Amino acid sequence: MSNWIQTERIRLMPIHAEVLRAVLSGDTKKADKLLAAKGSDSLVDARRLCELRLNQIEANPELDRRLLQAIVLNENDTLVGHIGFHTEPDAQYLLDQGLRGVELGYTVFEPYRRRGIATEAVQLMIGWGQFAFDIDTFVASIAPDNTPSIALVKRLHFKKVGVHIDEEDGPEDIYVLEVSRDSGGAGL
């Protein structure tokens, strides 16, 4: 089994703990080598996310492949963003909001936006979540002024189910997608 999932254009590659440690120590050459892609210096701007995910992985090594994936362009092995699940499925914070499933988040770096890369990456994560982990409910929390992300989740048939106040990010709209097991994510 390969270490990544892919389409013709992009692949998602796990950003393992070792890569996160390299990024956090400033050794982006090592991180690039470990990822087999160039551009891990872009992750330096996501220091808080890298620290958070590393702490989660160290507390529960089983989360290593689920939490953070590099979005890499196949044509030139360039890291163009990241995507992942925030926690394991049915995390307590979701259950407290009356939600089941797993929350996903994504970022595509500025020069690569508006090319459909985020949509492709989200579809891959959903399909992979279904296949590898038997997840059928996906949650996205999005700032109400993040028009591109709202358009993306609506295009993929997520439904707005509520609003909450994130301690760090402020108000967020909550969107949920329930995918039937037999669709394999293909209906997205």
- Helix (H/G/I), strand (E/B), else coil: 18: helix
Q: In the predicted model, what is the mean pLDDT of residues 163-170?
A: 82
pLDDT for position 62: 85
Burial of 125 (0-12, 13-18, 19+ CB in 10 A): buried
The answer to whether 106 and 126 have CB atoms below 8 angstroms apart is no
Could you give the 3-state DSSP secondary structure of residue 81?
strand
- Rounded to an integer, the average pLDDT of 66-90 is 92
Bigger pLDDT: 26 vs 1: 26
pLDDT in tens, 121-156: 999 999 999 988 889 999 999 999 999 999 999 999
Q: 3-state DSSP call for residue 114? A: coil
